[in-house]
Amino acid sequence: MRKLNDNDLTNIAGSTVGSYKVECVRIKRGEFTDSDHYGIILGRNTEDSYVTWQFHLGEDEKVDPYWGHYFNDDREVALRDFNIRDLNVSPFKVTITETLQKTVDVEARDQHEAEQIISDNWKKSQYVLDADDFIGVEFKAAPMDEPEDK
């Protein structure tokens, strides 16, 4: 097995491996000295199903694919897998929550009325909080396939 090069990738791109046309191909990233002897393929068949394979070139210089991840008709998920499958990472969505705070003086009969007056005025844009009112930030990560909290 030999090291892959740009010419190999050019020859493989657009070719057919099994029943899949190669849409994308790249050299594998990795920590091992022979990682560049392997590649990653994204292929699509005539039913618009996708696959990502790891591959190497066989003795006959033909693509020898293995370890396939198969996807029905979701190209975005397959492309994401193509981009990250050799990085040993998983996709996450991260919610960023910034907290702004401002204190406003008001005269009122009780705490409830004070809050109501300020709330009404805030809704009328009398108080606009900006970067000067920033007091904190929170980051919350969840796997991409986990449903979002409402």
Note the pLDDT tens digit of each residue in 18-68: 899 999 999 888 776 666 788 999 999 999 899 999 998 888 888 889 889
Output the pLDDT for position 37.
Answer: 83
Do residues 117 and 134 both lie within one domain? yes
At residue 69, does pLDDT exceed 70?
yes
Output the pLDDT for position 133.
Answer: 94
Output the pLDDT for position 141.
Answer: 85
Do residues 79 and 132 both lie within one domain? no
Output the pLDDT for position 57.
Answer: 87
What's the chain's average pLDDT? 88
Do residues 77 and 105 both lie within one domain? no
Does residue 1 lie in a domain region? no
Output the pLDDT for position 58.
Answer: 83
Asked if residue 143 lies in contact with residue 92, where contact means CB atoms within 8 angstroms, the answer is yes
Rounded to 10 degrees, what is the CA torsion of 9, 10, 16, 18?
-10
Lowest-confidence segment of 71-80, 102-111, 124-133, 137-146 by average pLDDT:
137-146
Do residues 81 and 10 both lie within one domain? yes
Q: Which residues contact 149 (CB under 8 A, 6 or more apart)?
A: none
Four-residue CA torsion sign, 103, 104, 110, 115: negative
Rounded to whole angstroms, how far apart are CA atoms 28 and 123? 54
Does residue 31 lie in a domain region? yes
Asked if residue 21 lies in contact with residue 14, where contact means CB atoms within 8 angstroms, the answer is yes
Rounded to whole angstroms, how far apart are CA atoms 7 and 49? 27
Rounded to whole angstroms, how far apart are CA atoms 90 and 84? 7
Do residues 105 and 57 both lie within one domain? no
At residue 121, does pLDDT exceed 90?
yes
Q: Which domain holds residue 30?
A: 6-89
Strand partners, 26: 40
